[in-house]
Amino acid sequence: MASPEQAETDEQKRATGVGALLKASRLRIGNDLRHIANILKIRYVYLEAIEDGRFEDLPGHTYSMGFVRAYAEHLGLDSDEVIRRFKNQVVDDHPEPSLDFPEPIPEVGIPGGAIIFIGILVAAVAYGAWYVNTSKEGIIADLIAPVPKRMAEQPASSGKPKEPAPVVEAKMEPKPEKPVETPTETVTAPTQVPATERAGVTTTVTAIVTTAETPAPPASTPTPEPDAPVETVATP
């Protein structure tokens, strides 16, 4: 609770401060405070707190200076001089608190020896894994028999399967048919020859037609025409 002397001092500052100056200027020109609040778009309670010197009721130091400057310019006062007095009054009434930042607590780090030990352990594990992998590859290579030299020298096949050789069907030639024996027919055709009187002898000519035996031609060849009949004339 403030003492009576301090309360009296605060009243005197308020009577001669920025708030009293703004209030006296407003009353001199006869403006209503609510009307000014509507024009400046500032809440009525904030303008009332400025006139009463209750700057702690304002939303913040930056907003307070903006409200005071707008209010002073509306009343026709020197805004820069009013802001200077406002800063001095605020500093005297409410000195800025000193900011004491706590010292950061040092973080407990990992000792350097532990880092070196972890690095050596990781390197050993990596080397062991590499050695095991390489040794396994060597054992497997020893178990696999080398490829014979003859097979290694053979050129690699193209991978395409060889096509089987085409099968040629043997054509059976037809056997020649045996010639069919055609029986020889001897046709004795009486040929009437007019009687010729030669030295009183009547000669009778008998024609004997003999058909020659010809073998039957094969089916694929045309059949030859038979020979013309041969006439045999018997002479006395």
Within-domain flag for 5: no
pTM of the predicted structure, to 2 decimals = 0.37
Within-domain flag for 45: yes
User: Which of 235, 138, 127, 234 shows the shortest CA–CA distance to 188?
Assistant: 234
189-199 pLDDT tens trace: 444 444 444 43
Within-domain flag for 28: yes
Question: What's 40's domain CATH number?
Answer: 1.10.260.40
How many angstroms separate the Cα of 138 from the Cα of each of 29, 127, 135, 163? 106, 17, 5, 41
Within-domain flag for 71: yes
**Segments forming the whole domain that contains residue 17:** 12-93
Within-domain flag for 152: no
Residue 53 has pLDDT above 70, yes or no: yes
pLDDT value at residue 41: 92
pLDDT value at residue 39: 92
Dist CA 99 CA 121 (whole Å): 48
* Contact call for residues 190 and 154 (beta carbons, < 8 A): no
Dist CA 208 CA 103 (whole Å): 161
Residue 234 has pLDDT above 90, yes or no: no
Within-domain flag for 222: no
Mean pLDDT for 178-187 is 51
Within-domain flag for 43: yes
Number of domains in the chain: 1
User: Which of 48, 45, 51 shows the shortest CA–CA distance to 19?
Assistant: 51
